[in-house]
Amino acid sequence: MIPVTEFRQFSEQQPAFRVLKPWWDVFTDYLSVVMLMIGVFGCTLQVMQDKIICLPQRTAASNQTAALPNRTEPEDVSLLAYQEMTGLKTDLDLQQYSFINQMCYEKALHWYAKYFPYLVLIHTVIFMVCSNFWFKFPGSSSKIEHFISILGKCFDSPWTTRALSEVSGENPEEKDHQKLSASRCSISVAPEEKVTLEKTQSLRSIPEKIVVDKPTASAMDKKEGEQAKALFEKVKKFRLHVEEGDILYIMYVRQTVVKVFKFLLILAYNSILVSEVQITVKCHVDIQDMTGYEDFSCNHTMAHLFSKLSYCYLCFVAVYGLTSLYTSYWLFYRSLKEYSFEYVRQETGIDDIPDVKNDFAFMLHMIDQYDPLYSKRFAVFLSEVSENKLKQLNLNHEWTAEKLRQRLVTNAHNRLELQLFMLSGLPDTIFEVTELQSLKLEILYNVTMPASVSKLEDLQELSLYQCCLKLHTTATSFLKENLKVLRVKFDDSRELPGWLYGLRSLEELYLTGSLSSDVSKNVVLESLRELKCLKALTLKSNLAKIPQSIVDVSSHLLRLYLYNDGTRLVMLNNLKKMVNLTELELVRCDLERIPHAIFSLSNLQGLDLKENNLRSVEEIVSFQHLRKLTCLKLWYNSITYIPEHIKKLGSLERLYFSHNKIEVLPSHLFLCNKLRCLDLSNNDIRFIPPEIGVLQSLLYFSVNCNKIENLPDELFFCKKLKTLKLGNNALSLLSPKVAYLALLAHLELKGNHFEALPAELGGCRALKRSGLQVEDTLFETLPSEVRAQMKTE
């Protein structure tokens, strides 16, 4: 015999799968077990007991023959009794009876009466397979197993409960206001209405509200936070994978349709054939040659029991079928390929939980039939707000206030600076470092500056490098009043934060990135008119013209720095409107001539035209109208000569002609007698005119990397010189008059042809070994007392 337990594999699933079995599937599983027992019981009876018992049925002739001995009177009463007890003789032995029973069972008994138990068994097994086929099908079972695994972890995660209190406590002031309003409303409501409200309150929402108002979750440790973070990533990937198709929904619909069809089939043919199960069966088989009879009267020993079992089976099938019809109604009447978390959003306060579709939605509908709490707790891991709160919590665990203080450094502007690189957010602990003056955020995405930034009363400088920063309303107000310096580095102009245009206390603005998003080079930069205190503006971009937004601040802008990526700056007329500029830098703008608009800037004090394409600077004569111009930088160009008009720039104090192609120095250059810094390095100069001695205010002079062979003695009459760079030339002798330079602190002589250094270098009392750039072997040619003097710091 086959025990019932052998059929458990058709219906038994992993215990975790029960969450995907609604009440109707559980009910039909129990019905299937009962029907299975009916089938197994019937099969057992078929095997263990005689199926049919037959007796020969005499014809009229045989009855007469058999009756002849009865006409004689019995000799005594005992003989008569014996004849009555023995009945009619058939002259058949046991083997013949067995043969007759088997033949009549096969020929005369209706097939339904013979195979009823087996049909029950087969139909029930099919029902069991249909009920659980989607758990076994390869295309759906993997998704189900993955989903159940994630669901269990989400349900048991400490963050599931913690998130409710974290999100709901996001705005304490608003929460208190709501509580106050609710208390006032409760006072004004009549007692009868209060009773009504209490009765209509959703019981399902009560547990969640208790959790929100009185969080019982203990503080999460770092390990639990990392596990919850991993769960968020798994849920995201699983959602993307499952929402692409609807194979689970299709498989469940198909197996339900098969069950309904099977139910109708069973009900139809069983209702018709159940009457064929009869106790008495007439049998006619042509076996007279073997037994002497061809008509038999048979008794189906299990007919009565099978008839009752069949009616009972039909009742169970009817109940099973009605349940399947209800399942079909549920499948087709409701939109199971879409799932809305609206009630979860209302009860938990997590407003950004997205609705889902396809197989993801279908599984959530199935879970709701088991227990709606599962989908409610699972929804926490679909919320971006919840994920951000978790990231924030993990950040706060990792970046404590003490750790942040250890990373504080003093930047070039003498401010205490903290740099944060590639973090998932902004740690709340940063606002405990109240001494912070400069904050540098690099490669941080979707970061929100909370209202607690107002605790950083000393914060004056903010740097954002590939960082999308949003501001809380209070944070915006704080930065408007306190921020002095803002640096923003971006890839696209759309990444520029909109709040920067309202920083009315901002004094310095640095923008690095593409401001021209199309071929026409239209600049995407909103008006800076609100930046009333802006003094310095630096743009490192690809400008083809001066943006109008810069002109909006021309009345108070003092320093403008434009660094192009090699794009030619062709439209400079707007420069004429910036009459208050004191410093102007046009770097890598592919300029071939000095722009005439510059000559209108009467307040200009410094001009830098570095890394352009200047070859001739004849326009330099127009600089004589710029009475305040003290610094002129024409370095890193292709200038071949210095025009004689340079002498008219009498106000110049710093002049840079390095990295050009100048071969000859005009004597008129040294008529700019206010020069304090003159850089002529990296050119092709072979001779320095003796007129250099006129520059009595000269502090810095560099002719590195030229072809100079001799130095004029007049050079050493510039007694205020502190820095003299003569490296990488063709010098072979250093004049003893170098001792006249008593203030000289830095002297560079490397890369020349000196054989020895003059002992008069000892007269340069400010010159130390660290300030003397010379080969060690050459330094050893100095007298020992001079060397000792220089080594003394």
Kindly report the three-state secondary structure assignment for every residue of 10-21: HHCCCHHHHHHC
Tell me how far apart the alpha carbons of residues 526 and 553 are, in angstroms, rounded to a whole number. 12
Instruction: Say what percent of the chain tops pLDDT 70.
Output: 85
Q: In residues, how long is the chain?
A: 793
Check residues 31 and 61 and name the one with the higher pLDDT: 31
pLDDT at 446 exceeding the cut of 80: no
Tokens of 599: 């000559």
pLDDT at 523: 57
pLDDT at 573 exceeding the cut of 90: no
pLDDT at 403 exceeding the cut of 80: yes
Please name which of 251, 247, 239 lies closest in space to residue 341, comparing C-alpha atoms.
239
Instruction: Say which range, 132-141, 488-497, 623-632, 750-759, has the weakest mean pLDDT.
Output: 132-141
Per-residue three-class SS string for 711-767: CCHHHHHCCCCCEEECCCCCCCCCCHHHHHCCCCCEEECCCCCCCCCCHHHHHCCCC
pLDDT at 518: 53
Tell me how far apart the alpha carbons of residues 614 and 625 are, in angstroms, rounded to a whole number. 21
Distance of CA 554 to the CA centre of its chain: 43
Work out the mean pLDDT of the chain and round it to a whole number: 81
Sheet (strand 280-284) strand order:
52-56, 295-300, 280-284
Check residues 245 and 80 and name the one with the higher pLDDT: 245
pLDDT at 289 exceeding the cut of 50: yes
User: How does pLDDT run across 685-741, given as a tens digit for each residue?
Assistant: 999 999 999 999 999 999 999 999 999 999 999 999 999 999 999 999 999 999 999
Check residues 629 and 289 and name the one with the higher pLDDT: 629
Tell me how far apart the alpha carbons of residues 363 and 154 are, in angstroms, rounded to a whole number. 15
Instruction: Say which range, 48-62, 544-558, 774-788, has the weakest mean pLDDT.
Output: 48-62
Tell me how far apart the alpha carbons of residues 584 and 592 are, in angstroms, rounded to a whole number. 17
Residues 39 and 118: beta-carbon distance below 8 Å: yes
Mean pLDDT score, 380-392: 77
Tokens of 328: 């079909």
3 pLDDT band, cuts 50/70/90, is low
Q: DSSP assignment of 448-470, as one string?
A: EE-GGGGG-TT--EEEEES--EE
Instruction: Say whether 671 sits in a helix, a strand or coil.
Output: helix
Instruction: Say whether 631 sits in a helix, a strand or coil.
Output: strand
pLDDT at 412 exceeding the cut of 80: yes
Mean pLDDT score, 163-176: 49
Please name which of 298, 293, 290 lies closest in space to residue 106, comparing C-alpha atoms.
298
Mean pLDDT score, 635-655: 93
Instruction: Say which range, 65-74, 203-212, 425-434, 629-638, has the weakest mean pLDDT.
Output: 203-212
Most confident among 67-71, 248-252, 662-666 (mean pLDDT): 662-666
Instruction: Say what percent of the chain tops pLDDT 90.
Output: 36
- Interior angle at CA 301, CA 295 and CA 302, nearest 5: 130
Give, for 498, the enclosing helix (H) or strand (E): none
Mean pLDDT score, 467-487: 91
Residues 220 and 162: beta-carbon distance below 8 Å: yes
pLDDT at 744: 95
Residues 585 and 565: beta-carbon distance below 8 Å: no
pLDDT at 181: 44
User: How does pLDDT run across 178-218, given as a tens digit for each residue?
Assistant: 444 444 333 333 434 333 333 333 333 334 433 333 333 34
Check residues 200 and 644 and name the one with the higher pLDDT: 644
Query: What distances in angstroms separate CA 195 from CA 190, 207, 454, one per listed residue?
Result: 9, 20, 46
Q: DSSP assignment of 368-429, as one string?
A: HHH-HHHHHHHGGGG-HHHHHHHHHHHHHHHS-HHHHHHT-EE-TTS-EEEEEES-SS--GG
pLDDT at 68: 42
Residues 443 and 467: beta-carbon distance below 8 Å: yes
Residue 753's region, left for phi above 0, alpha for psi from -120 to 50, else beta, is alpha
Check residues 192 and 586 and name the one with the higher pLDDT: 586
pLDDT at 219 exceeding the cut of 60: no
Instruction: Say whether 341 sits in a helix, a strand or coil.
Output: coil
User: Amino acid identity, residue 419?
Assistant: Q
Check residues 526 and 372 and name the one with the higher pLDDT: 372
pLDDT at 458: 92
Residue 443: which residues within 8 A CB-CB, separation 6 or more? 421, 422, 465, 466, 467
Tell me how far apart the alpha carbons of residues 713 and 734 are, in angstroms, rounded to a whole number. 10
Distance of CA 494 to the CA centre of its chain: 21
Mean pLDDT score, 494-505: 88
682 pLDDT band, cuts 50/70/90, is very high
pLDDT at 566: 87
Residue 487: which residues within 8 A CB-CB, separation 6 or more? 440, 461, 462, 463, 464, 465, 510, 512
CB atoms closer than 10 angstroms to residue 565: 12
**Using only C-alpha atoms, what is the Rg of the chain?**
51
Residue 239: which residues within 8 A CB-CB, separation 6 or more? 356, 360, 382
User: Amino acid identity, residue 276?
Assistant: E
Check residues 54 and 593 and name the one with the higher pLDDT: 593
pLDDT at 683 exceeding the cut of 90: yes
15 pLDDT band, cuts 50/70/90, is low
User: Where do we find the tokens 């439209």?
Assistant: 571
